[in-house]
Amino acid sequence: MQVSSNRNQTRMLNAKITKKESVDGSRVFRLILNIIVVILVLFPIIYAFVMSVKPSHELYDKTFFTANPTLQNYKDVFKIAPIEGYIINSLIVSIIITVFQMITAILAAFALHFLNFRKKGLLFAVIMATTMIPGETTIISNFLMISGWGFTDSFFGLVAPYLTSAMGIFLFRQAFQSFPMEIYEASKMDGASDLGFIFKILIPLSKPTIGALAVQSFLGAWNMYMWPLLITGSDRYRTVQIGISMLNSADSQSMLLMIAGVVVCMIPSLIIFMFAQKNMVKGLTTGAVKG
């Protein structure tokens, strides 16, 4: 009996060791797979940075890294074009668009969920239908409207078509559906106004959704190219994406300058994404699963 018990204990111990080895092997495999995916995803950024610090005579060298890294390309970017002014313009445009999209999305989503009025479902369907219209089909009509108002080559002309977002309304409406209607009714019984309910209750509890929309709106506004190119005609209102294209010419030096300019433009986007990625994921999944 004792021999049989020792055999069973030995078998159990061997099974545990085998299971632990398989778990460790699975973890190592997932780690290696994650490293490979990260390298593939970050390779364009790494390549852009490596090329931006190369001297112009090493552009067509077969070696990936340079033996003589230099920051002269970055210095020349700011000398050739007023990139710092373009960056400030892009920041102003992106911040204005982000703030207004959040305000309009919160107010519209609140009305569509908490308020009762006729054709509410039809109105929401029309709003969502606008997401199926490509932006290229409306850019000419938007330009004719803005130019007719006399706001070409101005900050208002840059931001006017993008002050609201149908996707933002959808995100906030989905998030507000997780709030019981009794909370709104109780706040009204306590004498709270609709704006008081929004600013004191809804907004503090909707921070993940606010973060998700803020990142999405800011990056979308920061990377706009066609509309700023169409609506601006002077350096005073040009955005950074237009400024980068001005660095392009036929020689190798300009190619390295463009790459250095692209790296400069990527820095704000990368910083915002790194600090807000958790809120972005939470905000995009809020309301997707109901208990």
Give the pLDDT band of residue 284 (cuts 50, 70, 90): low
How far apart CA 161 and CA 177 sit, in angstroms, is 28
Lowest mean pLDDT among 9-13, 107-111, 221-225: 9-13
Question: How confident is the model over 55-67, as a mean pLDDT?
Answer: 75
Give the pLDDT band of residue 55 (cuts 50, 70, 90): confident
Neighbours of 223 (CB within 10 A): 14
Considering only CA atoms, which of 178, 175, 166 is closest in space to residue 282? Answer: 175
Task: Report percent pLDDT > 70 for the chain.
Answer: 84
Q: Which residues have CB under 8 Å from 112's CB, separation 6+?
A: 120, 123, 124, 169, 173
Question: How confident is the model over 170-195, as a mean pLDDT?
Answer: 86
Buried/exposed 99-124: b ≥16 CB within 10 Å, e otherwise: ebbbebbbbbbbbbbbeeeeeeeeeb
Contact between residue 221 and residue 214 where contact means Cβ atoms under 8 Å apart: no
- DSSP state letter for 198: I
Contact between residue 272 and residue 215 where contact means Cβ atoms under 8 Å apart: yes
Residue 285 has pLDDT above 80, yes or no: no
Q: Which residues have CB under 8 Å from 255's CB, separation 6+?
A: 59, 248
Residue 122 has pLDDT above 80, yes or no: yes
Question: How confident is the model over 230-242, as a mean pLDDT?
Answer: 87
Three-state secondary-structure class, residue 65? coil
Q: Long-range contacts: 79-84, Cβ < 8 Å, 24+?
A: 80/247, 80/257, 81/243, 81/246, 81/247, 82/235, 82/243, 83/240, 83/243, 83/261, 83/264
pLDDT number for residue 250: 43
How far apart CA 202 and CA 180 sit, in angstroms, is 11
pLDDT number for residue 49: 87
| Tens digits of residue pLDDT in 12-40 | 655 555 555 555 667 778 888 888 988 88
Considering only CA atoms, which of 140, 144, 143 is closest in space to residue 158? Answer: 143
Contact between residue 154 and residue 233 where contact means Cβ atoms under 8 Å apart: no
Neighbour-count burial of 89, counting CB atoms closer than 10 A to its CB (0-12 exposed, 13-18 middle, 19+ buried): buried
Higher-scoring residue by pLDDT: 256, 94: 94
pLDDT number for residue 290: 46
